[in-house]
């Protein structure tokens, strides 16, 4: 029987960290105390004008391939989770493919907003388990700064840019133990970018809009339950989980979910203070940080949980 495991991971953040004070100096009507007390965010990274999601993705992908000991030619599938693609089409995945120098691998984008990486991992594992593919590059890459309304202090201070990538490969033992993904389209209005491109013009509102309270209530409702569901599927108790690696949206959501699941604070990987909310990139960015600083060790188990616009949510249970 063929299973899937993570063989390599990498991440990339553009430029230098942008502090809350930097945003204030740029004209955002807010304060450091306001941002930190409500979100836990102190810095984030913002890509320069002209930098695309694929530019961030290629750096993260190369680092993941280096850890896995493979080259781009070894890849037979590339999945990019993003809500900020380089263009309407072709997919950011094919643009990334060209930049990496791969020819022939299947490549496509997956759009589940902040749940995108969890969705993409779940999909990639199915390809490997089927026997059709053996080495899959899964990327979460976002340039959210280009869809932010910088006059809306309730949203623009929350987000950042970045990319994270993993190599998922076929194995004789399971590294990905279980996954679950869900959606409820009736909730799409609480977090969206409702604008469109039509007849050569942007129509509607091209900026991110969010009902923060509604998002909070939904997130703290579904994330603990999806984590428990995924563990139940694998036949593993939450007591056996070493790490919770959640989507890095807001420190209050992260702390609530951790406590609800009975995880100690030192078992929860938190990077939202340094990275902000990087949407589909947030989970792999956090996982890469914890793996490279030695917190996550071989044989340990981690539950990844994400929730995002759509509304989408999901979880993946990993053994490293």
3-state SS, residue 73: helix
Between CA 89 and CA 156 the distance in angstroms is 27
- Whether the pLDDT of residue 264 is over 90: the answer is yes
Between CA 56 and CA 68 the distance in angstroms is 19
What are the backbone angles phi and psi of residue 270, rounded to the nearest 5°? -125, 120
Q: To 10 degrees, what angle do helices 251-260 and 32-39 make?
A: 20
Residue for token digits 């703290």? 220
3-state SS, residue 269: coil
Query: Quick check: 314 and 245 in contact, CB under 8 A?
Result: no
Compute the average pLDDT of residues 255-283. 97
pLDDT category at 1 given cuts 50, 70, 90 is confident
**What distance, in Å, lies between the first and last C-alpha atoms of the chain?**
19
Beta bridge partners of 176: 318
233's enclosing H/E stretch is helix 212-234
Percent of the chain with pLDDT over 70: 100
Calculate the alpha carbon distances from 132 to 137, 170, 221, 258 in Å.
Answer: 14, 10, 36, 37
Tokens of 109: 């984008």
User: What's the chain's average pLDDT?
Assistant: 97
Global pTM?
A: 0.97
Between CA 230 and CA 267 the distance in angstroms is 18
Query: Quick check: 281 and 141 in contact, CB under 8 A?
Result: yes
Q: Which residues are catalytic?
A: 114, 247, 277
3-state SS, residue 248: coil
Domains of the chain and any CATH numbers: 3-173 (3.40.47.10), 177-319 (3.40.47.10)
Which tens digits make up the pLDDT trace of 184-217? 999 999 999 999 999 999 999 999 999 999 999 9
Which tens digits make up the pLDDT trace of 105-146? 999 999 999 999 999 999 999 999 999 999 999 999 999 999
């Amino acid at each position: 029987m063929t299973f899937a495991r993570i063989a390599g991971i990498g991440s990339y953040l553009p430029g230098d960290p942008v502090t809350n004070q930097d945003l204030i100096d740029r004209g955002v009507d807010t304060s450091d105390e306001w941002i930190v007390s409500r979100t836990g965010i102190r810095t984030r990274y913002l890509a320069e004008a002209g930098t695309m999601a694929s530019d961030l993705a290629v750096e993260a992908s190369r680092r993941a391939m280096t850890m896995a000991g493979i080259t781009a030619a070894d890849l037979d599938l590339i999945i990019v989770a993003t809500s900020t693609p380089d263009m309407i089409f072709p997919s950011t995945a094919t643009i990334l493919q060209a930049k990496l120098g791969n020819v022939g691998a299947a490549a496509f984008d997956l759009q589940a907003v902040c749940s995108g990486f969890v969705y993409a991992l779940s999909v990639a594992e199915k390809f490997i388990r089927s026997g059709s593919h053996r080495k899959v590059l899964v990327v979460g890459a976002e340039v959210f700064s280009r869809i932010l309304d910088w006059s809306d202090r309730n949203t623009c201070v929350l987000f950042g840019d970045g990319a994270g990538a993993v190599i998922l490969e076929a194995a004789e033992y399971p590294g990905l133990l279980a996954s679950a993904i869900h959606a409820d389209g009736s909730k799409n209005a609480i977090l969206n970018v409702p604008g469109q491109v039509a007849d050569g013009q942007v129509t509607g509102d091209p900026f991110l809009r969010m009902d923060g309270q509604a998002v909070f209530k939904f997130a703290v409702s579904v994330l603990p339950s999806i984590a428990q569901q995924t563990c139940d599927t694998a036949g593993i108790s939450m007591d056996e989980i070493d790490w919770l690696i959640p989507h890095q949206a807001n420190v209050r959501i992260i702390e609530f979910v951790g406590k609800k699941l009975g995880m100690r604070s030192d078992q929860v990987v938190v990077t939202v203070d340094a990275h902000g909310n990087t949407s589909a990139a947030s989970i792999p960015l956090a996982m890469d940080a914890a793996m490279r600083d030695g917190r996550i060790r071989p044989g340990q188990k981690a539950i990844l949980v994400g929730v995002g616009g759509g509304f989408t949510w999901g979880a993946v249970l990993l053994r490293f």
